[in-house]
Chains A and B, each alone.
Chain A
Amino acid sequence: MTQQEFVLDVRSMKKYFPIKQGFMKKTVGFVRAVDDVHIQIRPGETLGLVGESGCGKTTLGRCVLRAIEPTSGTALFQDRQGQVKDVLKLNNHDLRAIRRDMQLIFQDPYSSLNPRMTVLNIIAEPLICNGLARGEALKERVKELMEMVGLNSRHLERYPHAFSGGQRQRIGIARALATNPKFIVCDEAVSALDVSVQAQIINLLQDLQEKLHLSYLFISHDLGVIQHISNRVGVMYVGKMVETAATKELFRNPQHPYTEALLSAKPVPDPRKKSNRIILAGEVANPANPPSGCYFHPRCPYAQDICKSQAPEWKQVGEGHYSACHFAGELQLQGAVAQ
């Protein structure tokens, strides 16, 4: 496959946070928040990123945008002129230019909007920063954006506190769309919302994707949401990608024991489907001091001796289906079967 096929092609992304101790702030170790992760996103596609807290999914999302500086890796991004650039090598000036094409939607609609700014100012800020619009045109553009996300454009002069959680999330989405981006990282964008409102926002994100041909990196811990919105899914565990596949394939035919456990741990809203659930012992490993070999082996019901000593390779197990497990393809794992 050629590079042009992807909006974003991330290779060997690493982010190690140093642990400093003592008076001299000597580095005594690293938290491997993101450890050698590859992701590819095609135009108009949603890549879902799922994992438990502390697995590095948010850090990965931010590294891709260079909101935090990754330790190493490449992130090839195709900008609006069709040029492929490595985001991680750009200087500040070029980074600013390319950031018009990549935006971020935050989890918490309460803390991600400045309470002292009006909706107009909030949504206009990226337009002003990038010098895209001024005066009357700016106001018109903000109004257009507000209607696009289903807000009343007469509420231009209101402050965030006057809006409900769902409406605030819409403001956050309008702000992200202001510069006409191609690629948006949605970091737990619906997790703080009630289910009925969550459904509205998911539908909105899907409509916008179709209309504006957006690509999403959709980060969530909720498998139901991930399955609904994603074309492909990546599962992360302690900073490593453990499996990626097309959504249907991943849910029906998981090839990593952690994916299987995640799928089975999710409570299903149907009392007739009391599952024969796999309950993992213990909790997520500490990324500052991960276990030897495969990070998942202390909790894995299928672990063998090789898992304790050797880290598994990232291998292909099917069409577009990759897994980091020594026994991928050999184990009979149960998926979540759709009705």
Chain B
Amino acid sequence: MSQQENVILEMKDVKVQFRLDEGLLKAVDGVDLRIKRGKTLGIVGESGCGKSVTSQALLRIVPKPGEVQGEIRLTRKKKDGSLEVVDLAKLDARGKEIRDIRGAEIAMIFQEPMKAFSPIHTIGNQIMEAILLHTTDDQDEAYRIGVEILKKVGMSNPEQRMSEYPHQLSGGMRQRAMIAMALSCSPSILIADEPTTALDVTVQAQVLQLINDLKSSHDTSVIFITHDLGVIAEMSDDVAVMYLGKVVEYTDVDTLFHHPKHPYTKALLNSIPSVMRESKRLESIEGTVPFPMNLPKGCGFYTRCKLAKDGVCNVEDVPLVEVTAGHSVRCLLVDEV
């Protein structure tokens, strides 16, 4: 099936658990996702829903004592052109294989460019480090690629920027440098973890446009993680809504915003004050997200859901069910909603 070939990364029942003194913390609890070639998958959810940990699991950079379980199947091209499938979850997190993939196959843009860059190395050195690791051994060649990529992300005076330190750049410029670094080895998947949250709206608009342009010119797949539904609508082809470590709804972006099925998605959409909608009162979700430790059985949203039924929703864990082609919902009452 051509559909299958286009899937570049597939996550099956991925779990990330932290064994803490207080108990077992299930940060990611059985996530199934597919990332298609050249498309953007948006992951949206509130803080603590496991969206960042999911992306860390892909790169196997989950902080200790986190453990990754399940299957993460990455399809990649070998040097001779044939395709091979690697299960990232089975790799040694500190081994050579995963280090070849990090940066080269899957690259990441972090939320805070100031924290993600080393303050004591120049932008040029940091970009060249990745290139020297993955693409070439030649310093001059690496420098040339570095300048090229900085130019591509719209930095003025790329040669000068190469010898500047991160603190000399403004927030938007730093994020551009970050994107340049991520793209320097032409990865097939780019993970963007809240890349614009720390930026002002006018600068955010610039960065979002840049990511979209580069995505189409490089044919890169993007995993876009954010809590901002506006940005999701702007950027994504498919969207996964996460709540308490689980995907509660997974569909294409148009269906999500116009025919959402899960009560959480609906409530979330109704709770954003929007420029386009004038209403007197916002619909809010009662309570707050529970702490993901020692959770009771049943639907994670049970305690806050307006439609929750005692004896139905709080009995067994709710499976993610495909209601129509390409639209999966984790809700027992989906037919009644």
Cα-based distance from A271 to B272 in the complex (angstroms): 15
Is B276 an interface position by the 8 A CB rule?
A: yes
Docked-complex contact B200 and A221, CB < 8 angstroms? yes
With both beta carbons as reference points, the residue of chain A lying nearest to B289 in the complex is identified as A194
Please pick, from A228, A265, A270, A277, the residue contacting B282 in the complex, using a CB distance under 8 A: A228
Nearest-CB residue, chain B, relative to A338: B278
Could you say which of B200, B209, B257, B278 has the most chain A C-beta atoms within 10 Å of its C-beta?
B200
A266 and B201 contacting across the interface, CB-CB below 8 Å: yes
A199-B282, A221-B200 are contacts. A268–B254 as well, Cβ < 8 Å? no
- Point out the residues of chain B lying under 8 angstroms from A261, CB to CB: 202
Interface flag for B253 (CB, 8 Å):
yes
How many interface residues does B have (CB within 8 Å)? 48
Beta-carbon nearest neighbor of A284 in chain B:
B200
A198 on the interface (CB 8 Å rule)? yes
Residues of A within 8 A of B46 (CB): 194-197
Neighbouring B residues of A183 by C-beta, 8 Å: none
**Contact A202 B172, CB 8 Å, known A166-B288, A194-B227, A196-B285:** no
Quick check: is A84 within 8 A (CB to CB) of the other chain? no
* A173 CB, min distance to chain B CBs, angstroms: 15
Among B254, B276, B281, which residue has its beta carbon within 8 angstroms of that of A338?
B276
Is the pair A279, B285 in contact by a Cβ cutoff of 8 Å? no
A265-B202 in contact (CB<8A): yes
Q: Report the separation of the CA atoms of residues A200 and B226 in the bound assembly, to the nearest whole angstrom.
A: 21
Query: Which of chain A's residues 88-109 have a Cβ closer than 8 Å to chain B?
Result: none
Check A223–B227 contact: CB distance below 8 A.
Answer: no
Instruction: Give the distance to chain A from B184, nearest Cβ to Cβ, in Å.
Output: 24
Q: Are B203 and A283 in contact (CB under 8 A)?
A: yes
- Which A residue's beta carbon lies closest to that of B275? A336
Q: A123 an interface residue at 8 Å Cβ cutoff?
A: no
Which residues in B have their C-beta under 8 angstroms from that of A7? none
B272 near A224 (CB under 8 angstroms)? yes
Known: A166-B288, A267-B230, A267-B231. A195 touches B272 (CB 8 A): yes
Are A197 and B288 closer than 8 Å at their CB atoms?
yes
Residues of chain B with a CB closer than 8 A to A262's CB:
201-202
Q: Please measure, in the bound complex, the distance between the C-alpha atom of A234 and the C-alpha atom of B42, giving whole angstroms.
A: 33
Q: Tell me the chain B residues, 151-200 only, with Cβ under 8 Å from chain A.
A: 170-173, 200
* Interchain CA distance A245-B169 in the complex, whole Å: 35
- Kindly supply a per-residue 1/0 record for chain B positions 266-282, scoring 1 wherever the CB is within 8 Å of any chain A CB and 0 otherwise: 01110111111111011
- A309 to B171: give the CA distance in the assembly, Å: 29
Is B145 close to A, CB under 8 A?
no
What CA separation (Å) do A16 and B204 show in the bound complex? 29
CA–CA, A251 to B277, complex, Å? 11
CA distance A72 to B217 in the complex (A): 53
Compute how far the CA of A164 lies from the CA of B233 in the bound complex, rounded to whole angstroms: 28
Contact A53 B282 (CB under 8 A): no
User: Is B202 in contact with A270, judged by CB distance below 8 angstroms?
Assistant: no
The minimal Cβ–Cβ distance linking A95 to chain B, given in whole angstroms, is: 34
Q: Is the CB of B254 within 8 A of A269?
A: no
Query: Quick one: CB contact mask for A154-171 with B, threshold 8 Å, 1 for yes?
Result: 000000000011110000
Residue of B nearest to A53 (CB): B200
Shortest Cβ gap from B256 to chain A (Å): 8
Considering the chains assembled together, what is the distance between the CA atoms of A50 and B204 in angstroms?
16
Q: Are A227 and B227 closer than 8 Å at their CB atoms?
A: no
Given that A195-B272, A199-B284, A202-B282 are contacting pairs, would A271 and B253 also be in contact in the complex, using a CB cutoff of 8 Å? Answer: yes
7 A-B contact pairs sorted by A residue (CB < 8 Å): A194-B47, A195-B229, A227-B275, A267-B208, A270-B257, A338-B278, A339-B277
Shortest 4 CB-CB distances between A and B: which pairs? A267-B230, A228-B273, A199-B284, A199-B271
Interface residues of B (CB under 8 A from A): 46-47, 170-173, 200-206, 208-209, 227-234, 236, 253-254, 257-258, 267-269, 271-279, 281-286, 288-289
Q: A221-B201, A339-B277 are in contact. List 13 more A-B contacts (CB 8 A).
A: A195-B271, A199-B272, A199-B273, A224-B272, A251-B275, A265-B205, A267-B204, A268-B230, A269-B276, A271-B234, A277-B205, A277-B209, A338-B277
